[in-house]
Amino acid sequence: MKKFMDSDLEVTSEDASDLRSSLDELRCDPQSRRSLCYSLDIPRSGYHTLNLHEVSQTFASSRLDVENPERSVGLSQADAKNRLKTDGLNQLTPPKRIHPALVFLLQLKDPFLILLLIAGVLSVIGYAVNPDYVNLVLGGVLFAVVLITAAISFKQQRDSEAAMGAFLNMLPQRTTVIRDGLQQEIPVVELVVGDVVLVRGGDKVPADLRVLSATNAKVECSALTGEAEPIELTADADDTSVAEAESHALAFNGSLCLDGTVVGLVVATGDRTMVGSIASLSTNTETRETTMEREIKRFVYFIAALAITMGVVFFAIGVGRRQGQDAVNIFINGFLVVIVANVPQGMPATVTSLLTITARQLAKRNVLVKRLDSVEALGATSVIASDKTGTLTMNKMTVTDAWCDGTTGLAALQGAADGGGAASACSLLTVVATVCNNAVLDRGAAGGAEQLATLEVAAGAVAVEMQPMGGERDFVGNPSEVALVKFFDAVQPHEELRERYQVVHEIPFNSTNKWHVVVVRVDATDSLFSGLPADGADEGDLYGVLMKGAPERVLDHCSSYYQNGALHSVNDEFRRKFEHAYRRFGSRGQRVLGFCLCTFRHPATASADFENSDVPMNDMVFLGLTAIMDPPRPSVPDAIAMCKRAGIRVFMVTGDHPLTAVAIARQVGIIEPDSRPMIARASLQRTRRPSSSLPRSGSPESVVSASRKSTKPTHRVAPPDEDTGESDFEDAALIRYSFSTRQSLSEDAIVVPGWEIDDLTEEDWEHVLSKREIVFARTTPQHKLAIVERCQARGEVIAMTGDGVNDAPALKRADIGVAMGVNGSEVAKEAADIVLMDDNFTSIVVGVEYGRLIFDNLKKTIAYTLSHLFPEILPILLSLAFGLPPGLTSLQVLSIDLLTEMGPAISLSYEPKEADIMAQPPRNLERDRLVSAPLLAYAYLEVGVLECAACFISYTLVFATFGFTLSMLAFTDDLFFTSQSPMVCVSGRCYDSDAQLQVLQIVTATWYMTLILSQAFHVW
């Protein structure tokens, strides 16, 4: 059994050093990372574990040049043609299309429509037995209602279908390959395994590639992972313990190359790619019935059982009273008519109208409803499993804090341009952050001034336009660099600084150095650099070396720091302050970058084409730190607090690092400030060694430790790298959780890394999901599916959010799948039931509120509709049991159900919400039914009986005005009030057959109007 240990989130440098020493030993054990090898269920090719020589031998027909892959000969045209014929096109198998006629017929599977069809068939049977045009009209109207309702549903489904070729849209149209030693462009669909492909910045990866060479190449896989963190590619082989999904030597189909160039070898195409496996997983995932479907099915079963029971009873009463005579007529009027009368013919149209109106209202609140019945399901939600990036956060890296010139905060940096040209640490940091930066203005985005998205609401074709996003300019590049240039562009236009300090040499960032350096030409009279010492020749041009990177690496290159307009030597006091600021930022889940610079002179006669060895990077001047993160949306904490008040638990399910996930979870309120989440304890049985190394840049918020009362040492997990976001936490997580001491735990928060999920037992899952505050990190598509299914097994109604291709299976499986409309992939939108047009978690809460409202209003509508059924059936009972003239005709019953009652019933959808609607816990699906016993008692036995009494009194009084008493009318229905009735005289007045029929029409009209007016008072 695993054991969850209690954690206190305290951070000490001794703990960090102690843990890092142990982790160094862990890295030496190739088996120690086995728990990280979670990935999709795709064939493990193992190509990422082969070095280039082994790859060349494996793909001999590709004729690779391992020394210079761009000079590879590649496949021959004949070989490529044969492979294309064997393997098929490089495209995903499109989803199976259903013929429109079959789609229409499938609408008739709706339980309500089946009930109406049965009622229509019975009416036609009645006409066949007794040719009365009323039965024929009744049957025709019921069939028309079925066809019209099915047509509306058919149109809604056709309109709301997302692009079925969404997976195909992820592929670029053409790509560059090397065949027979020549570079050529071919359609992407013609790629085959063994092709040598060239991918440049801005291109999409056309297939799964084994990287042969990579020059400063970074790819963004958010369509697959849901996270926008760039991944640096390398041609180096991975250890055999590294999963394909985590390899930096593989580039996956559909990923975007942000920067650099890649030469890759195609190792998988079409359905055999990573995205293909997800497509298959999504296709094979069954869609669960919504709570509305289950409730409607249960209601239909009840109505059918009630109708058949009443029909049999009424038929028996009629046959018994007439001693078996005229059984055929009794069967029609005492069995078929009762069954038809029990069916609420207007209910399907009323429910559809209610849901459609609510969908339109939600569309105005940025919630697009694809499946109408999912509106009600959202109101029953007890768990919301939310993605982090773009849903809880703003989906854009932002400079959120800084430490510069001895002060903390952004105010000093924002005022850096107001110094009149005087040198300061903040003004120099502005130069470094802007110039040592490869992010460029996105010319294609029109400066980022506008963003327009038009989404169509399936129910009613409501077009919704997104408003302009604001006036800030958009940049493209590495997310951290984009965040820096966006922030400092507002301080001082980046064009001015880059024109003033032109780059003459660059040393790109790499995972070994963890810094990025540029050399710029500096004017000798530049006031910003005039106070800095210049190394090198006494004579010559002045150059500046600008560096940014991981803070501890940057500080290693510095011997002084700039503060209050003067240089000071780096000493222990400064290092202590540096470490304090660094840890403070990191504890909030922020990515931390350090900045420094120096100047030197280069001989005027020498070439400006520098070698790396020519660039001095010692005795540099430290300038400060910036903290960058994807900040939470401002409205999210209040929305999550509202969810908690409503009894809804909010889980974070993210592919991001556990440390960052916990930090964001605290900020938005998923984890309370005073909670101590239980996370993995690195109980490493190794010799402790002293170390003074500082943590790598990132987020040290999450801590793996013993209880505060424990005498064991506290271990802090090292934060992630600046570029990759990885950290020693993943190594530490090799020590599994244990559940053996759960009785002693008092906290109700837990953090579950993805590599632990596969090993959780049934008991473990029950323990995890019993917590109020849960964060799942580093999750894969299978993990998300498992989370959904485990929650459903506990009876939870779960709403799952997602935006990437990897989210599609879980979105489809969840009770309510919620996709992002702005940044979400088409695949996710297709799989989802609801699309958030503003990608905002708050919109989910709005949907929950409307879902609860529609449930309340649907109950009111059903109670209103059912209450008039007994007054419609009572005349049949009076006729069969006591032989009284009928109080209502079949057409009058039909007109009530389809005309007079639908308007008031639909109007109930506009009922305002109750004041405490979001202060109530989610409804219990076993007890709080859409059609419950109290509702039926109210509709049938309370309101129904009162309306029956009112109608019967009116019936009696009208007959009395014409001189007829109930005793006179009893058992005369087969003698009088027909077209062939004999003359009858009462109270001195005589009535022939025509007069009797006129009296009966007045009586039925009275019953009809009494029922309508009673219902009007009822709805009022």
According to DSSP, residue 918 is labeled T
DSSP 975: T
Q: Which two tokens stand for residue 531?
A: 């106070």
Neighbours of 286 (CB within 10 A): 7
Residue in the block written with tokens 């904490």: 637
- Give the whole-angstrom CA distance, residue 952 versus residue 572: 97
Q: Which residues contact 839 (CB under 8 A, 6 or more apart)?
A: 390, 391, 395, 803, 820, 821, 822, 823, 824
Contact 79, 194 (CB under 8 A): yes
Contact call for residues 678 and 4 (beta carbons, < 8 A): yes
Degrees (nearest 5) of the Cα angle 447, 453, 454? 150
Q: Is residue 387 annotated as part of the catalytic site, yes or no?
A: yes
Relative to beta strand 440-441, strand 475-476 is antiparallel
CA distance readout (Å), 400 to 409, 485, 632, 634, 767: 8, 13, 11, 13, 37
Q: How would DSSP label each residue in 401-455? A: EEEETTEESSHHHHTGGGSTT---HHHHHHHHHHHS---EE-GGGGGGT----EE
- Structural contact between residues 962 and 1003, judged by C-beta atoms closer than 8 angstroms: no
**CB count, 10 Å around CB of 129?**
14
Reference 4, options 675, 706, 739; nearest CA is 739
Helix (H) or strand (E) holding 562: strand 558-563
Classify 367 as helix, strand or coil.
strand
The angle, 0 to 180 degrees and rounded to 10, between the axes of the packed helices 658-668 and 636-645 is 70
Cα 676 from Cα 968, distance rounded (Å): 83
Going from the C-alpha of 569 to that of each of 282, 608, 622, 641, the distances in angstroms are 59, 31, 10, 48
User: How far apart are alpha carbons 903 and 895 in whole angstroms?
Assistant: 12
- The rounded distance, in Å, linking the Cα atoms of 491 and 475 is 16
CB neighbour burial string for 60-99, b if at least 16 within 10 angstroms, e if fewer: eebbbbbeebeebbbbeeebbeebbeeeeebbbeeeeeee
Rounded to the nearest angstrom, the gap between the alpha carbon of residue 780 and the centroid of all alpha carbons in its chain is 14
Q: Give exposure, 431-468, as e/b (b: 16+ Cβ within 10 Å).
A: bbbbbbbbbebeeeeeebeeeeeebebbbeebebebee
For 604, the token pair is 């005027």
- Catalytic residue selected from 15, 18, 195, 387: 387
Q: Which residue has the tokens 């109505």?
A: 303
Q: Which tokens in the block code for residue 564?
A: 């209050």
Rounded to a whole number of angstroms, the CA Rg of the chain reads: 37
Q: In whole angstroms, what is the distance from residue 671 CA to residue 651 CA?
A: 9
| Amino acid found at 57 | Q
Distance, CA of 281 to CA of 631 (rounded, Å): 32
Contact of 615 with 520, CB cutoff 8 Å: no
At 277, list the tokens.
């496996």
Reading phi first (left if > 0) and then psi (alpha if -120 to 50, else beta), residue 20 is in alpha
Q: DSSP secondary-structure letter at 498?
A: H
State the maximum Cα–Cα separation within the chain, in Å, rounded to a whole number.
137
What's the token pair of residue 720? 């992630």
Which residues carry out catalysis?
Answer: 387
